[in-house]
Chain A
């Protein structure tokens, strides 16, 4: 049976096509301002890559902030639901899932079947999500991808006072002026965002194993700060941004099977 999951995030739209528990193809496009079109494009490309015709897909589930824009989906699934499903599929031992995307941070506690026990969300404030690092990268004039590796080169602890992405930008600029190195600033940025995500995660009660999903999972600086803060190993899948779409495709298979 072939199914698909579409995750329309604030920044990227991701599609995963699956057949009998195996991933056939994945595709990702920028969500842009026309989410419907982005979903359509990503889906068409993913199907082409899998060599599957539209009619062959039994069920499509949409998730993510723009899930309502996926006109071709049979139904939707909540972001937390999709997240948990995908994460536990990849790491069956995963009980706590931390998902940090561009505009949202989430902490989910689930059981061995990927069923949700509890969750907490940080939403609509850039200081508690991936956008924070992006804004700081801009202030530092460093490409986003380099922020994580830069942070790994520092072991200094510099507290950041601003709790807002906009004010933090000025703080970064004044740190630059006082000749603090980019490595140290970058670490301070990751420590700051990780501490916010950690206190949110503590509200659900963090249990082993801890899985990190979402685009920010690619950021080694953040993952390190998270692991150190929670004193716990962090499991990160190879392509963390696809976990929700994967979860949606898995849930689609369950629904189609009845």
Chain B
């Protein structure tokens, strides 16, 4: 399953996509630890898989929550994406 967390508003589209098929098979979920803003958490989804999700309180302000990882200067590697060895995590912006 592709779970898209985030939103689209007048200023743009801000989604973190989790490929739960890959994510369920990941034993360490390194992205959760790697995130400096505690945006991610491990949940048991509706189909009983252990996968990561964006915490409820960040879903409507993800553009702001993730702002520290995305300086306008660019180039910096995004910690959560870098920590994911299975390629299960993507950002839309």
Q: Which residues of A come within 8 Å of B, CB atoms?
A: 118-120, 122-128, 161-164, 195-196, 199-200, 202-205
Contact = CB atoms under 8 A, between A and B. Distances in A.
B60 interface: yes
Contacts of A125: 9-11
Given A124-B10, A124-B11, 13 more contacts: A118-B72, A122-B11, A128-B11, A163-B60, A164-B60, A195-B64, A196-B61, A199-B65, A199-B67, A200-B64, A202-B68, A203-B72, A205-B73
A54 B48 CA distance: 74
Interface string B49-93: 000000000001100110110111100000000000000000000
Instruction: Please classify how large the interface on chain B is, using the bins under 10, 10 to 19, 20 to 34, 35 or more.
Output: 10 to 19
B72 A123 contact: no
A35 B11 CA distance: 23
Nearest to A123: B11
A101 to B, nearest CB: 14
B89 to A, nearest CB: 21
A123 B64 contact: no
Nearest to A164: B9
Interface of B: 9-11, 60-61, 64-65, 67-68, 70-73
A68 B70 CA distance: 32
A204 B71 contact: yes
- Summarize B's interface: helix, strand, loop or mixed: loop
Contact of A196 (B64, B68, B72): B64
A204 B10 CA distance: 21
A195 B67 CA distance: 12
Top-8 shortest CB links A-B: A124-B10, A125-B10, A199-B64, A125-B11, A163-B60, A199-B67, A125-B9, A118-B72
Contact of A200 (B10, B60, B65, B67): B67
Contacts of B61: 163, 196
A130 to B, nearest CB: 14
Contacts of B9: 125, 127, 164
B78 to A, nearest CB: 13
B32 to A, nearest CB: 21
A202 B10 contact: no
Contact of B10 (A118, A119, A120, A123): A123
Contacts of A127: 9
Nearest to A103: B10
B2 to A, nearest CB: 23
A202 B11 contact: no
Contact of A120 (B60, B68, B72): B72
B28 to A, nearest CB: 29
A196 B62 CA distance: 11
